[in-house]
Structure 1
Amino acid sequence: MKGTPAGPTGGSTSTAASGGDTPHSLQDEVLDDLTPEQLAAQWEEEKPPAAGALANAASSLVVLGVGIAAGILSMAMGLGTPATPQPGLWPFIISCVMVALGLFQLIAGRHNRDAEKFTRMSTAPLTGLVTLAAMVALMPLIGFELPALALCVIWMRFLGGETWRSTLVVSASVVIGFYAIFVLALNTSIPHLF
């Protein structure tokens, strides 16, 4: 390029002089220069600590217990036959898959080194499950609008780390969208306030 002085490495210095090289772009250049082995070694250093055999067994037992409980509840709802299924058939099939996966993980997953150790962030799925159950419990009492709005705010802001602005805009849009689809357009019997 004419009129652009060369830098010490022979490249153009106009980008650096204009403030175009940010720390992020320099970091990207460094990562681009790493070999796959060096990149894998860096990821290995940065990953959270491994869970260990006890944590693997505990998580497998939780999946196994949930699967067995779901199977029992499914049978109580009635299974029927594949030709004439009753409400419990598909939940029963899913619970059988959960039991099989839990057993497999309990037996074969003891030596798994990919599982991460339980940390403070491990409570996020439990928080999501508890808030979802609270929404389901509150819907028949006060409608779906307020519980759905609260659920979206908790999930986006506190579990997802979104900004307040995007949290409020998306949460309100989701509730309005659900109201427009399920109440106004489809006229379903979903509990609602308005």
Structure 2
Amino acid sequence: MQAATPVPGGGSSPNAVSPAGNGSNLPAEELDDLTPEQLAAQWEEEKPPAAGALANVASSLVVIGVGVGAVVLSIAMGLGTPSAPQPGLWPFMISCVLAALGLFQLVMGRRNRDAEKFTRMSLAALTGLVTLAAMVALMPLIGFELPALVLCIIWMRFLGGETWRSTLLVSALVVAAFYGIFVLALNTSIPHLF
């Protein structure tokens, strides 16, 4: 274990090792003693490497592609009118916003220096997307209860690092709340088992 190195103005250097497991390199009690400038310097040192211009363009094109694809699918479902909407109207509007945001990022993203380079942590977002898509695919077949429960467990325990007790408790409560709201109270046509 490394020793904390004094820093001008009190506290210690970002080279100290945190036994607290708080995501920082400093013990929790030393984080309170840092000035805002020292915290900013520590965060700057710990952040992932910045993405380059090519990564910004690629991610913008993906967002535009998803938005345009969703526009086409929503038009195929039918748009209707604002007074008599059909199933594709809200997805169409959201898809247009998504495509516009992707286009804005494509144009303005070259100046963006806050975007992070893809790392192993990027797999967490991909895992979240894949599990969400699996839930949507399974809902018409087996209802929403079991896929939603599994999704909550995966997101809380494996992506969020929660304890098993809180994961199981919160996941069960979330599914019960959705069941109570959408099935019992609103009597929606969401696919369900019970």
String of CA shifts for 1:157-193, please: whole Å, max 9, x gaps: 0111101111011111222222333334444443333
Cα shift at 1:28: 1.4
In 1, Cα distance between equivalents of 2:185 and 2:101: 40
**Change in 2 beyond 3 A, CA 1:180/1:86:** closer
1:24 alignment counterpart: 28
Q: Residues 112-145 of structure 1, C-alpha deviation per residue, up to 9 Å, x if partnerless?
A: 1100010111122221121112112212222222
| Distance verdict in 2 for CA 1:79–1:185, change over 3 Å | closer
Superimposed CA distance per residue, residues 25-69 of structure 1 (whole angstroms, 9 cap, x where no aligned partner): 23312x1xx2x4443322221211101111111100100100110
In the other structure, the counterpart of 1:80 is 80
CA distance in structure 1 between the aligned counterparts of 2:56 and 2:193, rounded to whole angstroms: 44
Instruction: Please give the alpha-carbon distance, in whole angstroms, between the structure 2 residues aligned to 1:93 and 1:28.
Output: 46
Paired letter, 2:56: N
TM (norm. structure 2) is 0.77
CA distance in 1, matches of 2:113, 2:39: 19
Greater helix content: 1
Task: Show the 5 A alignment for 1:1-194.
Answer: 23-29=27-33, 31=34, 34=35, 36-194=36-194
Q: Structure 1 residues 169, 140: closer, same or farther in 2, change over 3 A?
A: same
Q: What is the SS of the residue equivalent to 1:120? A: coil
Shift of 1:83: 4.3
Gaps of 5+ in 2: 1-26
**Structure 1 unaligned spans of 5+:** 1-22
Q: 1:61-104 CA deviation, whole Å, 9 max, x = no partner? A: 10010011011112222233444433323322222222222122
2: CA distance, partners of 1:39 / 1:141: 50
How far apart, CA to CA, are the structure 1 residues paired with 2:78 and 2:42? 53
Root-mean-square deviation (CA), in Å?
Answer: 2.0
Q: Identity over the aligned pairs, expressed in percent?
A: 82
Query: Aligned equivalents of 2:95 and 2:186: distance in 1?
Result: 31
Q: Which has the greater radius of gyration?
A: 1
